[in-house]
Structure 1
Amino acid sequence: MSEIDASRLAAALKDRYAKIDVVERTGSTNADLRKALEDGAPDRTVLLAEEQTAGVGRRARSWSSPKGGLYLSVALRPGVPFSALSSLSIVAGLAVWAAVFGAGVRATLKWPNDVLVNGAKCAGILAEAVAGADPSIVLGIGLNVLPLGDVQPGPGGLPATSLAEQGALNTDRTDIAVALLRELDEFERQWRLAGGDLTKAGMLGAYCAQCATLGQDVEVQLPDGTTLTGRAADIDAAGQLQVDVPGGRRHTVFAGDVVHVRPA
């Protein structure tokens, strides 16, 4: 297995990012960049790790991060309203989808932060706002590139998969990282220019077109521990899921774990 080539990354992504570092091992790239932002790191600072020993997903769950995957975080100071930062997960989802498609694998998006291939989880996204004078955020992406071995299913019983297992045309992790960071650069710049407005940026419709959650009967495990059951009907301009519940009501889901109850 070849290492991620930091010099090739820097050359290919010149002028797109302020700084790109690759480390052999760390606890969590997101945790490292949260601290870096607090210490004044510039906008568009990138950290990649060959392996994470304490990778996390939503709700502080562990994210299996063995060598062979792509684990990266990007520190952003986008200059958009704080209320718009949460929609960056939608932007990242589109970037991952496009990079995966470029590798010859057709994926779908599962709201709010998963990328699926043939019903199995190939990538996860974690966006974490960082307190400070200017709204800033760390965007973490974990993408399974090479076969994972024995990895336990995630929330909702989703099995894990990788680009290699799904017949990707290219599994060179440096190439995949370049493609992903290029896509993220372009999508994030467009979102930033639109002030964090998904509709104005032209991304809401694109996300909905690739979102496997819409039209599904779903169970949503909410942050307060309760469960909401209904049909995923729409995603609003802030990137929030709209669920039609019994009684003709529509419920806005700001955050939660979604389980698809039946196939689309």
Structure 2
Amino acid sequence: MAIPISRAARITRTAISPRLAIRIFVNGLVDTSYNVGLMDTPKATSNDENLPGSPFLGKKIGNFSDSWTVRWISTTGSTNDDLVTAGRKGAPDRLVLVADHQSAGRGRLDRTWEAPHGANLLVSLLLRSVPQFPHALTHAVALAAQSACLQVMLKAGVEVAVELKWPNDLLADGRKLAGILSAAGPLGTSVNSAGESCQTPQFVVVGLGLNVAWAPREAACLSEFADNTDVDRDAVLGLLLKEMDVLLALDQTQLHERYRVNLSTLQRDIRVELPQNKFLEGRAVDVDVDGRLVVEDSQGARSSLDIGDIVHLR
């Protein structure tokens, strides 16, 4: 049975590295005003005594890993915005917010994205244990989502490649299945693995939009690969959080290597559409520790890219 679509969904192909996305967001928060970077859109309201300063009450839901606090709300403007606000006011580490609908969901470069109520997995994770390279947390969520989707398909008895496209899109059968957007809190001082003082965000929020029962045109959703049967969003989230427990136990080098191994963009010919109507064609040969894609052109010259529309040529 088709799911009614109340509004057109809009998605973007523009890619921006997690490092740049977090840097842009942090730079937008240097002002002490807590309203900087937050949209004037509906948010879940009510106070929650268990979550200091949280702008939402929501409903606490169980059956997940004990290391996560998972809360659900029917509708909000943006789960990322809600958790950024909550994080700045003291909300705890590993807080997860799930919504049935977002009226102001965003993709990269602030493009809007909206899905029918209750159709897809719309979730954000607040993480306070921020490594020297914060984008590693975004990579972890992408890898966990990839693992969860593969497990769902395996259970359904189908074999479909779920690919990780730079920087953090998931593709199924070559079509977009999920997108990820990260945001960061204000900078704080921490000590890196070498014992050196460095500036890292006090927390990072990573949002995931995963097409479960509905997808916009030319995209993919999980249910179509599971014989169009209902796919339990809670089950998908449970698999994702279980895999996050494993990934967050890795050190940054191990996590980066796991990301590189699973990144389908590497060793492929690609076209990168850059700002100001420029483009670059070449082979994606690596992704550096900052999350930048390294592209080698036909002359052997290499470029490290923070941003661009990526098209897999073959």
2:236 counterpart (176, 180, 191): 176
Matching of residues 59-70 of structure 1 within 5 Å: 59-67=109-117, 68-70=119-121
Structure 1, 99-108 or 119-128: larger mean CA deviation: 99-108
Q: Deviation of residue 259 (structure 1)?
A: 1.8
- RMSD after superposition: 2.4
The answer on 1:90 being equivalent to 2:150 is no
| Residue aligned with 2:264, SS | coil
Runs of 5+ unmatched residues, structure 1: 153-158
Counterpart in the other structure of 1:33: 83
Q: Please identify the structure whose Cα radius of gyration is greater.
A: 2
Q: Which amino acid aligns with 2:247?
A: F
1:100 counterpart (139, 142, 149): 149
Contact 1:46–1:74 (8 Å) recurs in 2: yes
Matching of residues 12-91 of structure 1 within 5 Å: 12-14=64-66, 16-17=67-68, 19-67=69-117, 68-81=119-132, 84-91=133-140
Counterpart in the other structure of 2:272: 220
Distance 1:72 1:109 in 2: 18
C-alpha spacing 1:64/1:160, structure 2 compared with 1 (3 Å): farther
Q: Deviation of residue 90 (structure 1)?
A: 1.9
The superposition leaves residues 210-237 of structure 1 with CA deviations (integer Å, 9 ceiling, x where unpaired) of 3221222222244676433321111223
| Residue aligned with 2:223, SS | coil
1:188 counterpart (234, 248, 265): 248
Q: Which amino acid aligns with 1:109?
A: L
Contact 2:63–2:238 (8 Å) recurs in 1: no
Structure 1, 117-126 or 133-142: larger mean CA deviation: 133-142
The superposition leaves residues 3-46 of structure 1 with CA deviations (integer Å, 9 ceiling, x where unpaired) of xxx66x423322x12x3210000111111111111111111111
Distance 2:249 2:298 in 1: 40
The superposition leaves residues 156-188 of structure 1 with CA deviations (integer Å, 9 ceiling, x where unpaired) of xxx211000122787111111111121123212
Contact 2:94–2:128 (8 Å) recurs in 1: yes
| Residue aligned with 1:133, SS | strand
Aligned length: 238
Identity of aligned residues (%): 36
Distance 1:133 1:229 in 2: 39
Counterpart in the other structure of 1:118: 173
Q: Deviation of residue 258 (structure 1)?
A: 1.3
| Residue aligned with 2:105, SS | coil
TM-score computed with the length of structure 1 as normaliser: 0.81
The answer on 1:142 being equivalent to 2:202 is no
Distance 1:64 1:217 in 2: 31
The superposition leaves residues 36-85 of structure 1 with CA deviations (integer Å, 9 ceiling, x where unpaired) of 1111111111100011111111111112322310000011111422xx01
C-alpha spacing 1:141/1:246, structure 2 compared with 1 (3 Å): same
Counterpart in the other structure of 2:221: 162
